[in-house]
């Protein structure tokens, strides 16, 4: 999705802006631009396509300035063209960049057009530029004009503006889309994501919804729409600066796949004692809340939703607490009913997904016992606005296709199921100790499975000329099949669907023929017998089977059947292990197809608009 960077300094800020945009590239975008102040003038350069195209434009026609803003755009209103790329100007009075969607932009555009303003783009953002200009006619002070204009906006926005009438300042407003101020000495910065600025600072002020700010070289002044001053303390950003570093790996996705054993070990570090689970990491309130929980609603999107689906099986069987799992974009527009003592769990890698945040805000006003954020970004909006926090330690995930974020979410959710089971008196000491030992062994088992990469690479060759694929699983492995299909479709663009294997003969079996690979994940559990019958149905119709199976499962290989035995699939954590070959499969198919693995078309890393 869109990204914002800005800087004010005594030195030339153009390289800082460009580097910031490069660091936001992983989020997905289709054009980029920069606006800087040069004396009384505002200079703008924009380009369609990669940030490199903007860098080339800047090399051909360089800019030197002490104050400026920059943007990567992911098109919502209007095609990805240079005219629609941000920043947008209102004459030479100001320039703005914006993330989010202005919902009343059509009415505002009509109003501004009839007042004589001329529009050069199809975007909702240009409305904001002219709106501020109109307010400048009423107010001498740019801060006042800016806040009056912001007062007219409806929808979601992270907004930054520069103006020659206050040449060392950046003006900001936040409602619904993230925005931070990066603090340094005698120069300050702004960004939609701290990652954009880790090369220049690790201290950030997080703007809250409704905050406005004026940032200059000396510091940041925060206020609300009524002009009341606000105090927000800077926080240190704990992640290492690993953004530009793929190491020896060809893609971030592959690096992140191989980082999973370490990410899982890091996630468990503060959650396991010598014999049992430690619940302190959930926050001081946790021990009082856990025994009271009678229902759980898990809300999330995409891969995080799949983690929630696995958690339902674990939490219900280990703790006996009923669990509902729903995608956030549906939940937020229903009228969900929370039975007494229901815990709301929002799962999100980024903690900035617009639909998940909207669901959290609904839950906070609708009688839930408490809210819990399961998140990889400690400073994110989801974490800041939730009552309890369960943090994963995956490190920064750059690949749009989520990998280590997912397996660390699963790890934390398995741990949560144990904590809930114990709090409800459903988990005895011996079972808790056994489960803790299983979790401790997990990183080691993951390492062994990742060594099967060459075998998976060969299997990937079967998919190169295929248009469709079917993924099957049962029980806790059905959501893993969903995740395997999502990975394959998002990075290789092969149409992939997942079904619980028992549903096959209720419809999807009609699709099965020799052109349809069918991928199955199968542990050695009580559903194996039933799964075998389902697979026979596929074989009988000429479908090609690719089975990722537990080591002790015997399945006949032969023409049209490939089996790959996966060690470590015999415990409760089997869904985590079973995910790994499916990630590797998607990666190697995408590699063979030559797609942009880390930045698949049309997708964004963090979906901050509806
Ligand atoms: C998964 O590969 C996707 N990139 C996507 O489904 C993602 O999981 C979803 O957008 C939710 O993101 P979040 O975890 O940051 O909320």
| Ligand 1 centroid – CA 361 distance (Å) | 19
CA of 25 to the centre of ligand 1 (A): 16
Residue of minimum CA distance from atom 9 in ligand 1: 302
Q: Is 510 a domain residue?
A: yes
Q: Is 246 a member of any domain?
A: no
Nearest CA to ligand 1 atom 5: 302
Task: Assess contact for 311 and 296: CB atoms under 8 A.
Answer: no
Q: How far, in Å, is the centroid of ligand 1 from the Cα of 253? A: 14
Nearest CA to ligand 1 atom 13: 348
Same domain assignment for residues 225 and 324: no
How far apart are alpha carbons 86 and 64 in whole angstroms? 19
Closest ligand 1 atom to the C-alpha of 403? 2
Q: Is residue 139 part of a domain?
A: yes
Last residue of a domain, one of 236, 263, 295: 236
Would you say residue 198 lies in a domain?
Answer: yes
Which residue owns the Cα nearest ligand 1 atom 2?
401
221 token code pair: 């002044």
Number of domains in the chain: 3
Burial class (CB in 10 A: 0-12, 13-18, 19+), 283: middle
Residue 223 predicted with pLDDT over 70: yes
If asked whether residues 308 and 427 sit together in one domain, one would say yes
Using the mean position of ligand 1's atoms as its centre, give its distance from the Cα of residue 1 in Å: 12
Q: How confident is the model at residue 553 (pLDDT cuts 50, 70, 90)?
A: confident
Pocket of ligand 1, beta carbon within 6 A? 301-304, 348-350, 353, 356, 400-402, 490, 606-607
Residue with tokens 């995408």: 590
Indicate whether 535 and 568 sit together in one domain: yes
108 and 198 housed in the same domain? yes
Are residue 445 and residue 525 in the same domain, yes or no?
no
> 301 alpha carbon to ligand 1 midpoint, in Å?
6
**Cβ atoms within 10 A of the Cβ of 552, count?**
11
Residue that has been written with the tokens 């930054």 in this structure: 160
Summarize the confidence of residues 315-324 as an average pLDDT: 97
Does the pLDDT of residue 604 top 60, yes or no? yes
Tell the residue nearest (CA) to atom 7 of ligand 1.
302
Locate the ligand 1 atom nearest the alpha carbon of residue 607 and give its number: 10
Pocket test for ligand 1, best of 349, 487, 493 (most atoms within 8 A of CB): 349
Q: For a substitution probing ligand 1, which of 26, 402, 492, 600 has the most ligand atoms within 8 Å of its CB? A: 402
Q: What is d(CA 117, CA 112) in angstroms, rounded to the nearest whole number?
A: 6
Q: How far does residue 597's CA lie from ligand 1's centre (Å)?
A: 15
Say if residue 232 is in the same domain as residue 262. Answer: no
Mutate which of 177, 300, 301 for ligand 1? The one with the most ligand atoms within 8 Å of its CB, which is: 301
The string of DSSP codes covering 531-588 is: HHHHHHHHHTTTPEEEEEEETT-----BTTEEEEEETTTTSTTHHHHHHHHHHHHHHH
28: left (phi over 0), alpha (psi -120 to 50) or beta: left
- Distances from the Cα of 388 to the Cα of 345, 358, 374, 384, 429, angstroms: 9, 17, 9, 9, 25
Evaluate if residue 524 carries a pLDDT over 70: yes
Whether the pLDDT of residue 238 is over 80: the answer is no
In a domain, 185, yes or no: yes
**Backbone phi, then psi, for 583, in 5-degree steps?**
-65, -45
Atom of ligand 1 nearest to the CA of 400: 4
Q: What is the 210 CA–ligand 1 centroid distance (Å)?
A: 26
The pLDDT value recorded for residue 441 is: 93
CATH code where residue 72 lies: 3.60.20.10
Identify which of 205, 207, 208, 212 has the alpha carbon closest to the alpha carbon of residue 184.
205
Of 10-24, 33-47, 267-281, 475-489, the range with the lowest mean pLDDT is 267-281
What is the distance in A from the centroid of ligand 1 to the CA of 166? 39
**Cα 214 to Cα 194: distance, rounded to the nearest angstrom:** 18
Q: Rounded to the nearest whole angstrom, what is the distance from the C-alpha of residue 400 to the centroid of ligand 1?
A: 8
Q: Give the integer Cα–Cα distance in Å for 437 and 16.
A: 47
Asked whether residue 598 is assigned to any structural domain, the reply reads no
Global pTM value: 0.79
605 flagged as catalytic: yes
pLDDT on residue 240 = 59
The rounded radius of gyration (Å) of the Cα atoms in the chain is 26
Do 324 and 176 share a structural domain? Answer: no
Does residue 603 lie in a domain region? Answer: no
Strand partners, 345: 298, 372
Nearest atom in ligand 1 to 302's CA: 6
Indicate if 30 and 66 belong to the same structural domain: yes
Find the CATH number of the domain harbouring 343: 3.40.50.10490
**How many residues are recorded in the chain?**
610
Residue 176 Cα to ligand 1 midpoint, Å, equals: 18
Contacts of 286 (CB under 8 A, 6+ apart): 279, 280, 388
Q: Which atom of ligand 1 is nearest to the CA of 603?
A: 4
Contact 11, 187 (CB under 8 A): yes
Residue of minimum CA distance from atom 6 in ligand 1: 302
Beta-sheet pairing, 561-566 with 544-550: parallel
Q: What is the pLDDT of residues 153-207, one digit of tens each?
A: 998 899 999 999 999 999 999 998 889 999 999 999 999 999 899 989 999 999 9
Of the three residues 403, 420, 449, the one that is the final residue of a domain is 449
Q: How confident is the model at residue 244 (pLDDT cuts 50, 70, 90)?
A: low
pLDDT single digits (tens) 456-507: 999 999 999 999 999 999 999 999 999 999 999 999 999 999 999 889 889 8
> Is 434 a known active-site residue?
no
Atom of ligand 1 nearest to the CA of 487: 2
Mean pLDDT, range 212-240, rounded to an integer? 90
Q: What are the backbone angles phi and psi of residue 269, rounded to the nearest 5°?
A: -55, -40
Classify residue 247: in a domain, yes or no.
Answer: no
Percentage with pLDDT > 90 across the chain: 73
Model confidence at 242: pLDDT above 70: no
Mutate which of 195, 480, 607, 608 for ligand 1 pocket (most atoms within 8 A of beta carbon): 607
Shared domain check, 11 and 139: yes
Ligand 1 mutation pick, 352, 353, 595, max ligand atoms within 8 A of CB: 353
Q: Whose CA is nearest to atom 10 of ligand 1?
A: 302
Closest CA to 104 of 37, 41, 150: 150
b/e 388-425 (16+ beta carbons within 10 angstroms → b): bbbbbbbbbbbbbbbbbbbbbbbbbbbbbbbbbbbbbe
The residue to which tokens 């199921």 are assigned: 417
Per-residue pLDDT band for 239 (boundaries 50, 70, 90) equals low
CA neighbours closer than 13 Å in the CB half-sphere of residue 517 = 25
* Residue 471 and residue 488 in one domain: yes
Please tell me which residue in 404, 489, 599, 605 is annotated as part of the active site: 605
Nearest CA to ligand 1 atom 16: 348
Closest atom of ligand 1 relative to the 301 alpha carbon: 11
Q: Which residue has the tokens 């056994």?
A: 434
**Span 281-288, average pLDDT:** 83
Residue among 378, 382, 410, 412 at smallest CA distance from 395:
378
Do 212 and 313 lie in one domain? The reply is no
Rounded to an integer, the average pLDDT of 49-57 is: 93
Q: Using one digit for the tens of pLDDT, what is the confidence trace for 426-442?
A: 999 999 999 999 999 99
As a whole number, mean pLDDT of residues 231-241 equals: 78
Residues 40 and 152 in one domain: yes
Active-site pick, 2, 50, 255, 404 = 2
Cβ–Cβ < 8 Å for 481, 606: no
What domain range is 268 assigned to?
252-449
At a CB cut-off of 8 Å and minimum separation 6, what does 485 contact?
469, 470, 471, 496, 497, 498
Q: Are strands 180-183 and 203-206 parallel, antiparallel or unpaired?
A: antiparallel
| Closest atom of ligand 1 relative to the 605 alpha carbon | 4
Separation of CA 414 from chain center:
21
For ligand 1, the distance from its centroid to the CA atom of residue 185, given in whole angstroms, is 36
Q: Which of 427, 449, 471 is the last residue of a domain?
A: 449
CA distance linking residue 122 with residue 125, whole number of Å: 9
- Please state, in angstroms and rounded to a whole number, the distance separating the CA atoms of residues 149 and 142: 10
């Amino acid at each position: 999705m869109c990204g914002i960077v800005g800087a004010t300094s005594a030195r030339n800020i153009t390289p800082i802006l460009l580097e910031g945009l490069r660091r936001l590239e992983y989020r997905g975008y289709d054009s980029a631009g920069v606006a800087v102040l040069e004396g009384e003038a505002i200079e703008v350069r924009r380009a369609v396509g990669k940030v490199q195209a903007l860098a080339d434009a800047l090399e051909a026609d360089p800019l030197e300035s002490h104050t400026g803003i920059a943007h990567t755009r992911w098109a919502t209103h209007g095609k990805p063209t240079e005219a629609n790329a941000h920043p947008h100007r209102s004459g030479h009075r100001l320039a703005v960049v914006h993330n989010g969607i202005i919902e009343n932009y059509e009415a505002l555009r009509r109003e501004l057009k009839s007042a004589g303003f001329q529009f050069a783009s199809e975007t909702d953002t240009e409305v904001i530029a002219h709106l501020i200009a109109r307010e400048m006619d009423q107010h001498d002070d740019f801060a006042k004009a800016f806040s009056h204009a912001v007062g007219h906006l409806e929808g979601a926005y992270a907004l930054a503006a520069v103006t020659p009438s206050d040449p060392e300042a950046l003006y900001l407003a936040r409602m619904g889309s993230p925005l931070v101020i990066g603090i340094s000495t005698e120069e300050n910065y702004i960004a939609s994501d701290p990652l954009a600025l880790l090369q220049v600072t690790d201290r950030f002020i997080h703007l809250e919804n409704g905050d406005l700010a004026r940032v200059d070289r000396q510091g940041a002044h925060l206020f609300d729409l009524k002009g009341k001053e606000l105090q927000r303390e800077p926080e240190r950003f704990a992640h290492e600066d690993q953004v530009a570093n793929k190491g020896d790996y060809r893609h971030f996705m592959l690096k992140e796949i191989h980082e999973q054993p370490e990410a899982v070990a890091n996630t468990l570090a503060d959650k396991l004692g010598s014999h049992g689970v430690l619940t302190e990491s959930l926050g001081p309130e946790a021990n009082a809340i856990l025994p009271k929980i009678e229902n759980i609603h898990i809300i999330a999107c995409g891969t995080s939703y799949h983690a929630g689906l696995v958690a339902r099986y674990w939490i219900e069987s280990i703790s006996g607490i009923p669990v509902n799992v729903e995608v956030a974009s549906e939940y937020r527009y229903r009228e969900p009913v929370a039975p007494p003592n229901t815990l709301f769990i929002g799962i999100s890698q980024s903690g900035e997904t617009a639909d998940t945040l909207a669901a959290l805000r609904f839950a906070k006003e609708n009688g839930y016992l408490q809210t819990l954020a399961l998140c990889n970004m400690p400073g994110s909006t989801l974490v800041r606005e939730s009552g309890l926090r369960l943090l994963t330690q995956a490190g920064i995930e750059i690949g749009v296709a989520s990998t280590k974020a997912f397996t660390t979410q699963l790890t934390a959710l398995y741990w949560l199921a144990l904590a809930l089971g114990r709090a409800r008196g459903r988990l005895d000491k011996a079972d808790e100790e056994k489960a803790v030992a299983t979790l401790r062994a997990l990183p080691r088992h993951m390492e062994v499975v990742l060594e099967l990469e060459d075998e998976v690479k060969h299997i990937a060759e079967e998919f190169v000329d295929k248009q469709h694929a079917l993924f099957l699983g049962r029980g806790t492995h059905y959501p893993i099949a969903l995740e395997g299909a999502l990975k394959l479709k998002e990075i290789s663009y092969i149409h992939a669907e997942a079904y619980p294997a028992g549903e096959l003969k209720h419809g999807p079996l009609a699709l099965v023929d020799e052109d349809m690979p069918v991928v199955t994940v199968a542990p050695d559990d009580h559903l194996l017998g039933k799964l075998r019958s389902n697979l026979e149905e596929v074989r009988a119709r000429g479908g090609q089977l690719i089975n990722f199976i537990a080591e002790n499962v015997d399945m006949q290989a032969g023409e049209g059947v490939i089996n790959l035995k996966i060690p470590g699939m015999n415990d409760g954590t089997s869904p985590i292990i079973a995910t790994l070959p499916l990630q590797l499969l998607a990666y190697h198919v995408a590699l063979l197809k030559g797609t942009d693995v880390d930045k698949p078309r049309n997708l964004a890393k963090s979906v901050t608009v509806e």
